[in-house]
């Protein structure tokens, strides 16, 4: 019988980390998930996994904690999913973003290099490393890196270190250059979840909605949902689809980086229309653009050309924007009912 494989997921509380843990459990892995040490005992995305996975405390700014996980568990596969992942916060926290999102992955690579050098490593790169690229409709693995915000620049550093560790040490490290992906487990910092939660609140007539990152109600007393640039466009896929691509990358004979996207893109307005239409509301009566939520620089408009992933990994997206927004709205309606939000 084949030996059971062990996977470490750095950042298991994330939307991707939690779906990845489910996928790896279904494939028979022993799953070790790391979370940050906080005073909270509640981790909504992984409550249902407690008891099925091993939890360890580790922080990307604390190399000792990462070393300990590798020494203790001797993983076959390591997925670095964690990062300061909110592009908007990267302008207000540029030092922290650099520490966590740029240098954090290098601490993971070093921990693997010293303590479990045969482990295969996945690094969560973002399409934001291409945020300033113009004149390109469809990005692929050869599109030159040109990041234009602190988050994208931090991710670009980590991404280039992936190739450096492959070439310098012969390690099996690969990066997924992932376009935006969403799910009911997306945090409320991000526009798709704001839309789905806002729609759910309006549909149920909630008087005390959850608050946004400015500490203000997601939907104001006039029934308006505040968003940033409504014309910004994104290639949105489904997190549950994307974690399969991560796993597939680590099953190949050679480590390579892949673009993962849907090869479509839509505006924030399009996503609003899909979500509001789903519950019979008119988005134009409820959505406003709030200048406080605009980014200092927007990323340029591109789709993710996943043809290399399709060819080599047999991977294709299954869920596209409209269905995704509907899944998220339905889930948020259930969430508000289950949490008895009034
Ligand atoms: P989330 O925003 O849901 O989660 C981020 C994770 O990082 C959380 O588990 C968080 O822990 C953890 N984390 C933050 N800071 C630290 C730290 N200092 N040490 C250890 N852990 C930390 O991420 P997603 O699931 O959306 O994305 C997963 C990864 O993919 C991220 O690296 C993200 O940047 C990247 N990415 C995401 C895309 C997307 O559209 N979702 C697109 C491309 C890349 P805690 O729960 O304690 O906050």
Q: What is the DSSP letter of 64?
A: H
The question of whether 126 is a catalytic residue gets the answer yes
For ligand 1, say whether the CB of 180 is within 6 Å of any of its atoms: yes
Question: What is the pLDDT at residue 179?
Answer: 98
For ligand 1, atom 33, which residue shows the shortest CA distance?
85
Taking residues 64-84, report their average pLDDT: 98
Question: What is the pLDDT at residue 214?
Answer: 80
Residues 1-29: tens digit of each pLDDT: 789 999 999 999 999 999 999 999 999 99
For ligand 1, say whether the CB of 82 is within 6 Å of any of its atoms: yes
The question of whether 22 is a catalytic residue gets the answer no
Measured between alpha carbons, how far is 146 from 244 in angstroms, rounded to an integer? 27
Do the beta carbons of residue 302 and residue 136 sit within 8 Å?
Answer: yes
pTM over 0.85: yes
The question of whether 151 is a catalytic residue gets the answer yes
Question: What is the pLDDT at residue 202?
Answer: 98
Homologous superfamily assigned to 6-183+236-265: NAD(P)-binding Rossmann-like Domain (3.40.50.720)
Percentage of residues in the chain having pLDDT higher than 70: 100
Residues 150-197: tens digit of each pLDDT: 999 999 999 999 999 999 999 999 999 999 999 999 999 899 999 999
Percentage of residues in the chain having pLDDT higher than 90: 91
Fold of 191-232+266-298+321-338: UDP-galactose 4-epimerase; domain 1 (3.90.25)
In the reported structure, the alpha carbon of residue 254 is separated from the centroid of ligand 1 by a whole-number distance in angstroms of: 26
Give me the residue spans of the domains in the chain. Answer: 6-183+236-265, 191-232+266-298+321-338
Taking residues 74-86, report their average pLDDT: 96
For ligand 1, say whether the CB of 16 is within 6 Å of any of its atoms: yes
Measured between alpha carbons, how far is 196 from 202 in angstroms, rounded to an integer? 10
In the reported structure, the alpha carbon of residue 280 is separated from the centroid of ligand 1 by a whole-number distance in angstroms of: 33
Strands of the 120-126 sheet, one edge to the other: 54-57, 30-35, 6-10, 77-80, 120-126, 173-178, 258-260
Tokens of 124: 């969560």
Residue 48 has pLDDT above 90, yes or no: yes
Mean pLDDT, the chain, integer:
96
Do the beta carbons of residue 293 and residue 227 sit within 8 Å?
Answer: yes
Q: E-assigned strands of the chain?
A: 6-10, 30-35, 54-57, 77-80, 120-126, 138-139, 173-178, 181-182, 225-227, 233-234, 237-238, 258-260, 266-267, 287-289, 303-304
């Amino acid at each position: 019988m084949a030996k059971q494989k062990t996977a470490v997921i750095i950042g298991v509380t994330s939307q991707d980390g939690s779906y990845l843990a489910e996928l790896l459990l279904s494939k028979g892995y022993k799953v070790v998930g790391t979370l940050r040490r906080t005073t909270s005992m509640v981790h909504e995305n992984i409550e249902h996994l407690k008891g099925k996975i091993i939890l360890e405390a580790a922080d990307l700014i604390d190399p000792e904690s990462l070393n300990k996980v590798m020494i203790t568990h001797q993983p076959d596969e390591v997925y670095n999913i964690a990062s300061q992942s909110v592009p908007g916060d990267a302008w207000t926290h540029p030092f922290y973003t650099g520490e966590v999102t740029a240098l954090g992955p290098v601490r993971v690579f070093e921990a693997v290099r010293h303590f479990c050098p045969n482990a295969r490593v996945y690094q969560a790169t973002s399409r934001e490393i291409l945020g300033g690229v113009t004149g390109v409709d469809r990005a692929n693995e050869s599109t030159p890196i040109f990041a234009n915000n602190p988050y994208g620049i931090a991710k670009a550093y980590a991404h280039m270190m992936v190739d450096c560790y492959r070439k310098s040490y012969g390690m099996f490290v690969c990066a997924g250059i992932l376009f935006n992906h969403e799910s009911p487990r997306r945090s409320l910092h991000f526009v798709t979840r704001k839309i789905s939660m806002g729609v759910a609140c309006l549909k149920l007539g909630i008087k005390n909605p959850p608050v946004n990152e400015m500490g203000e109600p997601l939907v104001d007393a006039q029934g308006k949902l505040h968003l940033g640039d409504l014309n910004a466009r994104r290639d949105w896929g489904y997190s549950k689809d994307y974690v399969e691509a991560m796993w597939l990358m680590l099953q190949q004979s050679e480590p390579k980086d892949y673009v993962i996207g849907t090869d479509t893109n839509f505006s924030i307005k399009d996503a609003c229309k899909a979500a509001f239409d789903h519950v019979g509301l008119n988005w134009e009566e409820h959505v406003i653009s709030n200048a406080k939520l605009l980014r200092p620089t927007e990323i340029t408009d591109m789709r993710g050309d996943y043809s290399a992933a399709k060819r080599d990994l047999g991977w294709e997206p299954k869920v596209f924007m409209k269905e995704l927004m509907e899944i998220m709205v339905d889930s948020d309606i259930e969430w508000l009912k289950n949490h008895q939000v009034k």
